[in-house]
Amino acid sequence: MYPLKLIQNRIIAAFGSEQFLNEPIKLYEPITYTLGQSGKRLRPVLVLLSCDLFGGDIEKAVLPAMGLEIFHNFTLLHDDIMDDAPLRRGKETVHKKWNDNTAILSGDTMFVLAYEYVAKTDPGLLPDVLRLFNDTARKVCEGQQYDMNFESQTNVTIHDYMMMIQLKTAVLIACSLKLGAIIAQADPVEAEKIYAFGIELGLAFQLQDDYLDAFGDTAVFGKEVGGDIITNKKTFLYLKAFEVASPDDLSRLDHFFSNPEIEASEKVRGVIHLYENLKIDQYTRQEIESHFQKATVILDGLSVAEENKEEIRSLALGMVGRNR
Amino acid sequence: MYPLKLIQNRIIAAFGSEQFLNEPIKLYEPITYTLGQSGKRLRPVLVLLSCDLFGGDIEKAVLPAMGLEIFHNFTLLHDDIMDDAPLRRGKETVHKKWNDNTAILSGDTMFVLAYEYVAKTDPGLLPDVLRLFNDTARKVCEGQQYDMNFESQTNVTIHDYMMMIQLKTAVLIACSLKLGAIIAQADPVEAEKIYAFGIELGLAFQLQDDYLDAFGDTAVFGKEVGGDIITNKKTFLYLKAFEVASPDDLSRLDHFFSNPEIEASEKVRGVIHLYENLKIDQYTRQEIESHFQKATVILDGLSVAEENKEEIRSLALGMVGRNR
């Protein structure tokens, strides 16, 4: 088995050696800008780890894995227009640095690029690979729509929220793992298992992201705490707080979330304080743990030598904050 | 050979029997709205005609053909945001009826749908089909970028313009024809020929559209004359006029195109009058005829029984206004 670090470096090298700039420059410059930013490259790393787990040749997985990373970055690019986000990974978003039209069209082009890379696989595997990717891409769009719907919807339940993050985030994690399995020509039953593992891991991963927004260490998390609180985002924390709050706490929560005139840092401090009183940190950690445990049970059940699972297990632990 | 009318009806029936509405409604409603509008369905009709021309089973081409129509409508949807267009086929555009975010995300979802339908083909043909579609989709995006670039670019040549419409319009016409050929398992050399035919036909078709904007009969054309003139669009007509104008005519053209205070109908009348004096109608018809002739020569050279070419020949004639 390849060590995680080696696989991460393989993906970084792959992006480093690829040339995305092309004519017309105005179309490809924002793509080069976006793909040149060194994110965690989590999804392609998962593709290679899974391919390796099932005994496949990771070199055959590199280009399709890049396709998933390009797709992920395309969704961020369009999401940033829709959310009017100014920054992404500490840098100006494409629609701010250029404009909305550029972000729309460069995004569309990245979507085509994603398909081009995903398709760089053994022709015999293409029908399965394409079916998986189409299904995933559709679900991610549906998840983004639910996410936008929830902004103005007043009766969002935790169940609704979990369904939304499954579509918007978890299916792409699951797709990454299953893509690696398909390329390794794993048994289809095992491929479904690693997909199910990815769904649970993806849910835990998104909940961890929600958790860090309120309870993260800025230095570790890499972004300011409280972004979700400032924008009234209906995360697991928010929904759980409204679910368990006493009438008094409810009116305190309402006070912070319904008065736009409250200064941002005061709002963040006040809400986090309420969350702590309501033990939202503990509820969230329990929920993360529950999904992580389900993921672990599925991984344990995979018909693959235990020692082969070590790298994926270690990455998964990192994704839910267990290595900090 | 199936008559053109029958093939058109087959495509209309296919769209009529397909259900695009799904959850979340807000995502799929604009898609249903867009795909429910009865355009000419030109691209899927070309797929079936070409498939039939090469002796293929048109039923095998119906779903992939729908994919190209869905793709075409996706590009219109995103183009309408970028151009801030209020109307499309006489109805409100999606970004006006809903909003920009809806148009972006429903468009993205239509793009996935397009891939899903295009992929509904014999698995053995999938690599070729997907390569063709990816290549086409990328070029259409590049064409749209050049089109936007030209708005602010002062030194656009007719050569630049022809390159742009080749990417933005002609390659999808060519792709439609080649897709039909691939599904019919035509000889690859013949498939390339029908692609080349489609490029020339597509160029003639776009020039015909430019021509009708100035010299069309509103009743036949279905939209008001002069839209391109009002928006200073650098069409073949505009570029040719600036190329052949005398110094006096140049200053007259400049007068109309550089004074935003001139009333729209006066501008349209004035520019069309200048175009007529400069024989731009004749130059344009010559250019259309030249590309149509090239297309005809390629069609003549296809190794297919002459009588099989009749339906495509008749549709092609209609596309360049020869049946009016």
Q: Final residue of a domain: which of B114, B133, B168?
A: B168
- B53 assigned to some structural domain: yes
Q: In terms of domains, do B28 and B160 share one?
A: yes
Q: What is the pLDDT of residues A176-219, one digit of tens each?
A: 999 999 999 999 999 999 999 999 999 999 999 999 999 988 66
Interchain pair B27, A142: CB under 8 A: yes
Q: Output the average pLDDT for chain A.
A: 96
Q: Residues A205, A115: one domain? A: no
* Of residues A104, A202, A71, A164, the one with CA closest to residue B23: A164
User: What is the per-residue pLDDT for B321?
Assistant: 87
Q: Is residue B173 part of a domain?
A: no
- Calculate mean pLDDT across residues B1-23: 95
Shared-domain flag, residues A35 and A163: yes
Shortest CB distance from B109 goes to which of A112, A123, A141? Answer: A141
Does residue A39 register a pLDDT over 90?
no
Query: Which ipTM value was assigned to this complex?
Result: 0.96
Q: Do A126 and B131 touch (CB under 8 A)?
A: no
Give B96-109 pLDDT, tens digit per residue. Answer: 999 999 999 999 99
Q: Where among A154, A185, A216 does a domain terminate? A: A185
Same domain, A75 and A177: yes
Query: Is pLDDT of A225 > 60?
Result: yes
Kindly list the residues from chain A whose CB atom is less than 8 angstroms away from the CB atom of residue B105: 78, 82, 141, 144-145, 148
Classify residue B79: in a domain, yes or no: yes
pLDDT tens by residue, B194-215: 999 999 999 999 999 999 999 9
Residue B110 has pLDDT above 60, yes or no: yes
Q: How many CA atoms lie within 13 A of A316 on its CB side?
A: 30
**Percentage of residues of chain B with pLDDT beyond 70:** 98
Assign B38 a pLDDT band (cuts: 50, 70, 90): confident
Smallest CA-to-CA distance from B18 within B54, B87, B67 is with: B67
Average pLDDT over residues B106-128: 98
In a domain, B176, yes or no: no
Token pair for A180: 């690696």
A166 and A202 share a domain? Answer: no
Is residue B122 a part of any domain in this protein? yes
Mean pLDDT computed over every residue of chain B: 96
Please check the confidence at residue A90 and state whether its pLDDT lies above 60. yes
Do residues A167 and A146 lie in contact, with contact meaning Cβ atoms separated by under 8 Å? yes
Q: Helix or strand or coil: residue B150?
A: helix
Least reliable range by pLDDT among A218-222, B37-41, B240-244: A218-222
Report d(CA B297, CA B308) in Å as an integer: 16
Compute the average pLDDT of residues A57-81: 98
> Among the residues of B100-187, which ranges form H helices?
100-118, 126-152, 158-165, 171-183
Tell me what pLDDT residue A38 has.
Answer: 75
Domain match, A247 and A98 both? no
Q: CB B112 to CB A134 under 8 A?
A: yes
The residues on B that touch A, with CB distances below 8 Å, are 23-24, 26-27, 78, 81-82, 100-101, 104-105, 107-109, 111-113, 115-116, 119, 123, 126-127, 130-131, 134, 137-138, 141-142, 144-146, 148-149
Distance of CA B276 to the CA centre of its chain: 26
CB contact under 8 A, A115 and B130: yes
Q: Are residues A261 and A142 in the same domain?
A: no
Give per-residue pLDDT as tens, A308-322. Answer: 999 999 999 999 987
B24–A149 C-beta distance less than 8 A? yes
Q: How far is B165 from chain A (nearest CA, A)?
A: 14
Based on the domain organization, do A83 and A204 belong to the same domain?
Answer: no
> What confidence category does residue B30 fall into, taking pLDDT thresholds of 50, 70 and 90?
very high
Q: Is the pLDDT of residue A62 over 80?
A: yes
CA distances from A35 to A18, A74, A77, A94, A176 (A): 10, 9, 11, 11, 18
B41 and B131 in a single domain? The answer is yes
Residue A323 in this model has a pLDDT that exceeds 80: no
> Helical H runs in chain A?
4-17, 25-35, 42-53, 62-82, 94-97, 100-118, 126-152, 158-165, 171-183, 188-215, 218-221, 227-230, 236-244, 247-258, 264-277, 280-300, 310-319
Helix B264-277 × helix B188-215 angle, to 10°:
120
pLDDT at A227 (0 to 100): 92
CA of A193: how far to CAs of A45, A70, A199, A298, in Å? 18, 25, 10, 7
- Chain B residue numbers touching A111 (CB-CB < 8 A): 108, 111
- Residue B49, in any domain of the structure: yes
CA gap A134, A122 in Å, rounded: 17
Tell me the Ramachandran region of residue B257: left when phi exceeds 0, alpha when psi lies from -120 to 50, beta otherwise: alpha
Are B50 and B12 in contact, with CB atoms under 8 Å apart?
no
Best mutation site among A138, A148, A168 for testing chain B: the one with the most B CBs within 10 Å? A138
What would the pLDDT profile of A295-312 be if each residue is shown by its tens digit? 999 999 999 999 999 999
Mind telling me how many Å the CA of A203 is from chain B's nearest CA? 20
CATH number at residue B154: 1.10.600.10
pLDDT for B70-92, tens place per residue? 999 999 999 999 999 999 988 99
- Under an 8 A CB cutoff, do A112 and B138 touch? yes
Q: Which residues on A lie below 8 Å from B123 (Cβ)?
A: 126-127
| Tens digit of each residue's pLDDT (9 = 90 or more) over A128-145 | 999 999 999 999 999 999
Q: What are phi and psi of A283, to 5 degrees?
A: -55, -45
| Min Cα separation B138/chain A (Å) | 6
User: Is B180 within a domain?
Assistant: no
Spatial separation of the C-alpha atoms in residues A278 and A246, rounded to whole Å: 9
Same domain, yes or no, for B30 and B155?
yes
Identify the domain boundary among A150, A185, A220.
Answer: A185
Most A CBs within 10 A among B20, B98, B138, B168, hence the mutation to make, goes to B138
Whether residue A127 and residue B130 make contact (CB cut-off 8 A), yes or no, is no
| A227 and A176 together in one domain | no
pLDDT band at B324 (very low <50, low <70, confident <90, very high): very low
Which structural domain range is residue B243 located in?
187-324
Domain count, chain A: 2
Please report which confidence band the pLDDT of residue B39 belongs to, taking 50, 70 and 90 as the band edges.
Answer: confident
**Domain shared by B17 and B125, yes or no:** yes
> Is residue B175 situated within a structural domain?
no
CB nearest to B105's CB, from A82, A109, A112: A82
Higher model confidence: residue B40 or residue B93?
Answer: B93
**Per-residue pLDDT at B295 exceeds 60:** yes
pLDDT of residue A324 exceeding 90: no
**Do the Cβ atoms of B64 and B121 come closer than 8 Å?**
yes
Q: Summarize pLDDT for B178-191 with one digit per residue, the tens.
A: 999 999 999 999 99
pLDDT of residue B148: 96
